[in-house]
């Protein structure tokens, strides 16, 4: 199956249904009065974790998702149907980001976890809602609100406790296949692994953890060379790194130099990957050059604990698994977002309340008002009647639009625009 871990798409929540304007006219019911029902709320765009998925391949061919609109209100105070949510199922470890603002909208790390990415439009109220002692027969009914729309980037970061790193063909896939039930492709050529493979590892003392075999890194991976940059992001969630070094140096590489190169790539990448504890595995110790290379390695890195293994025959792996499990017990989760960086786009950042509107001076006596709250109020307003215009005018006064225009310097007779509606400002 093709592995897709990043997709850009557009999502649109459903619009709210219109409210109904109607009156009861039953033969034997006196003073029937207004009976228009409310519209239905628009459907939401919802992302939900599905443990059965391991890639974003389904989204690659479905770049635009639209939820259904709410139904219109009916007579006899009957509500319109609520719009059906569009539920998008994604693998564990999926992050949803707003492309325009860069804000992280959701980080899905639990099975069945759900996140509403776009809210459906509000339901328009029917004329029954506007009945009062002063207005016993209102004809006014609201339109439905507009559903939210976003351009988003959906990114998968593999959810594993332990990540295997190292140059191509050092034995990472073999190690995973021996210690778990995973069956990664294994062959005698570079970049056999072209997508992350996951396996559940069971330690003899009963502890268990998820291990990820990642494509081999090369020098310059953090800058985009080879496959490394594409898959380095999958190490971000790992709490422990198992660094596999080919001590046999069968392909002519120097294990001492390789170890430093991979660590330089981890350090160059964001999210401080080098701060994660490492378990260093000296693999292919059955080869002739391995003992001499291991001696040089220990001289170059005397403070590094090294585990000697021969993954092909599963020798020396149990101490590695115990060490990884011990480190997982004492290592907390690493934040995916650097608190010292610009905090824009940080998950759950408190932004405060947005203003209900913004005033823009276009010059020559022309002004424009925009903002989510005032624009939504305009779209829901029914301006086809005098009553509707009066209600919208009162809404603007309550939101402070009149005073905001005065404070900005708007003069009597100036033209003010909201969306596609223009009116003359009267002092």
- 286 labeled part of a ligand binding site: yes
Task: Determine the pLDDT at residue 193.
Answer: 43
Domain shared by 228 and 105, yes or no: no
Q: Are residues 239 and 197 in the same domain?
A: yes
The tally of domains found in the chain comes to 3
Q: Tell me whether residue 241 is in a domain.
A: yes
Nearest-angstrom CA–CA distance, 188 and 250: 11
285 has binding-site annotation: yes
Same domain, 377 and 311: no
pLDDT tens digits, 63-113:
899 999 999 999 989 999 999 999 999 988 889 999 988 888 998 888 899
Residue 168, annotated as binding a ligand: yes
Q: Kindly state whether residues 73 and 130 are assigned to the same domain.
A: yes
Distance CA 70, CA 39 (A): 7
Assigned domain for 414 exists: yes
> Is there a single domain that holds both residue 170 and residue 128?
no
Rg from Cα positions in the chain: 31
Q: Is residue 194 annotated as involved in ligand binding?
A: yes
Instruction: Return the pLDDT at 231.
Output: 56
Helix 386-399 and helix 401-408, axial crossing angle in degrees, nearest 10: 60
The larger pLDDT score, comparing residue 359 to residue 217, is at 359
Helix axes 372-380, 386-399, angle to 10 degrees: 170
Alpha helices, H only, 239-385: 255-268, 290-300, 317-330, 372-380
Q: Is 311 annotated as a binding residue?
A: yes
- Beta strands 197-202; 208-213: pairing state: antiparallel
- The CA-atom distances, in angstroms, between 219 and each of 222, 223, 232, 345 are 8, 9, 13, 30
291 Cβ partners below 8 Å, 6+ apart? 285
Assign residue 410 the CATH number of its domain.
3.30.300.350
User: What is the end-to-end Cα distance of the chain in Å, rounded?
Assistant: 67
Q: Is 5 annotated as a binding residue?
A: no
In angstroms, the Cα distances linking 42 to 71, 79, 356 are 8, 13, 22
Residue 215, annotated as binding a ligand: yes
193 marked as binding residue: yes
Query: Is there a single domain that holds both residue 238 and residue 175?
Result: yes
Is 167 marked within a binding site? yes
Q: Domain check: are 52 and 144 in the same one?
A: yes
Task: Determine, yes or no, domain membership for 347.
Answer: no
CB 11 within 8 A of CB 2: no
Rounded CA-CA distance 371/119 in Å is 17
Domain membership of residue 386 (yes or no) is yes
Q: Is the dihedral of CA 352, 354, 359, 362 positive or negative?
A: positive
Q: 169: annotated binding-site residue? A: yes
Residue 344 has pLDDT above 80, yes or no: no
Runs of H (alpha helix) within 180-311: 228-232, 255-268, 290-300
- Is residue 101 marked as binding? no
Q: Is 364 labelled a binding residue?
A: no
Residue 336, domain member (yes or no): no
Is 213 annotated in a binding site? The answer is yes
How many other β-carbons are positioned within 10 Å of the β-carbon of residue 402? 16
Question: Where among 139, 156, 173 does a domain terminate?
Answer: 156
Among the candidates 156, 190, 215, a domain finishes at 156
More confident residue, 99 or 6: 99
Domain of residue 306 covers 162-330
Tell me which of 282, 312, 330 is where a domain ends. Answer: 330
Q: How confident is the model at residue 213 (pLDDT cuts 50, 70, 90)?
A: confident
Dmax (CA) of the chain: 104
Q: pLDDT band at residue 181, thresholds of 50, 70 and 90?
A: confident
Between CA 361 and CA 299 the distance in angstroms is 71
Q: pLDDT digits over 57-75, tens only?
A: 888 888 899 999 999 999 9
In a domain, 349, yes or no: no
191 annotated ligand-binding residue: yes
Strand partners, 149: 12
Residue 222 has pLDDT above 60, yes or no: no
Q: What average pLDDT is seen over the chain? A: 83
Residue 259, helix vs strand vs coil: helix
Residue 74 marked in a binding site: no
Contact status, residue 290 vs residue 256, Cβ threshold 8 Å: no
- In this structure, are 196 and 312 located in the same domain? yes
CA distance 109 to 347: 13
Do the annotations mark residue 135 as ligand-binding?
Answer: no
Q: Quick one: 264 and 391 in the same domain?
A: no
Mean pLDDT of 316-343: 76
Whether residue 145 sits in one domain with residue 25: yes
Model pLDDT for residues 374-409, shown as the tens digit of each residue: 888 888 888 888 888 888 888 888 889 888 998 899
Is there a binding annotation on residue 170?
yes
- Check which CATH number belongs to the domain holding 224 and give it: 3.40.50.300
For residue 90, give the CATH number of its domain.
2.70.210.12
Query: Is residue 334 part of an annotated ligand binding site?
Result: no
More reliable by pLDDT, 135 or 352: 135
More confident call, 220 vs 97: 97
Listed residue (132, 141, 146, 13) closest to 73, CA to CA: 141
**Structural element, H or E, at residue 208:** strand 208-213
């Amino acid at each position: 199956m093709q592995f897709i871990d990043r997709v850009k798409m557009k999502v649109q929540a459903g619009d709210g249904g219109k409210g109904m304007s109607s009156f009861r006219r039953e033969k034997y019911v006196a003073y029937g009065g207004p009976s228009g029902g409310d519209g239905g709320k628009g459907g939401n765009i919802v992302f939900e974790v599905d443990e059965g998925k391991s890639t974003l391949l389904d989204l690659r061919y479905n770049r635009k998702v639209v939820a259904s609109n709410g139904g219109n209100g009916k007579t006899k105070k009957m509500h319109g149907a609520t719009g059906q949510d569009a539920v998008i199922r994604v693998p564990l470890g999926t992050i949803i980001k707003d492309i325009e603002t860069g804000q992280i909208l959701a980080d899905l790390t639990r099975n069945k976890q759900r996140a509403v990415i776009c809210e459906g439009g509000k339901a328009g109220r029917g004329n029954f809602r506007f009945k009062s002692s002063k207005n016993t027969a209102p004809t006014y009914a609201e339109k439905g609100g507009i559903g939210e729309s976003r351009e988003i980037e959906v990114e998968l970061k593999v959810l594993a406790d332990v990540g295997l790193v190292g140059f191509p063909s050092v034995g990472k896939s073999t190690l995973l296949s021996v210690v778990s039930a995973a069956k990664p492709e294994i062959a005698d050529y570079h970049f056999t692994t072209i997508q992350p493979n996951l396996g559940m590892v069971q330690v003899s003392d009963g502890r268990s953890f998820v291990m990820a075999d990642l494509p081999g890194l090369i020098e310059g991976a953090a800058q985009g060379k080879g496959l490394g940059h594409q898959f380095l992001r999958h190490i971000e969630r790992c709490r422990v790194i198992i660094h596999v070094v080919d001590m046999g140096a069968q392909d002519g590489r120097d294990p001492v130099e390789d170890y430093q190169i991979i660590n330089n790539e981890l350090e160059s990448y964001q999210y401080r990957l080098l701060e994660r504890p490492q378990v260093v595995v000296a693999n292919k110790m059955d080869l002739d050059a391995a003992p001499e290379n291991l001696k040089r390695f220990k001289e170059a890195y005397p403070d590094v604990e090294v585990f000697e293994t021969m993954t092909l025959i599963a020798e020396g792996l149990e101490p590695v698994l115990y060490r990884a499990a011990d480190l997982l017990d004492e290592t907390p989760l690493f934040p995916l977002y650097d608190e010292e960086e610009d905090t824009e786009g940080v998950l759950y950042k408190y932004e405060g309340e947005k203003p209900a509107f913004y005033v823009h001076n276009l010059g020559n006596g022309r002004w424009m008002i925009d903002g989510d709250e005032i624009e939504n109020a305009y779209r829901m307003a029914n301006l086809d009647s005098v009553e509707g215009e009066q209600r919208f005018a009162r809404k603007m006064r309550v939101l402070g639009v009149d005073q905001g225009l005065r404070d900005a310097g708007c003069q009597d007779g100036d033209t003010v625009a909201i969306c596609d509606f223009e009116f003359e400002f009267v002092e």
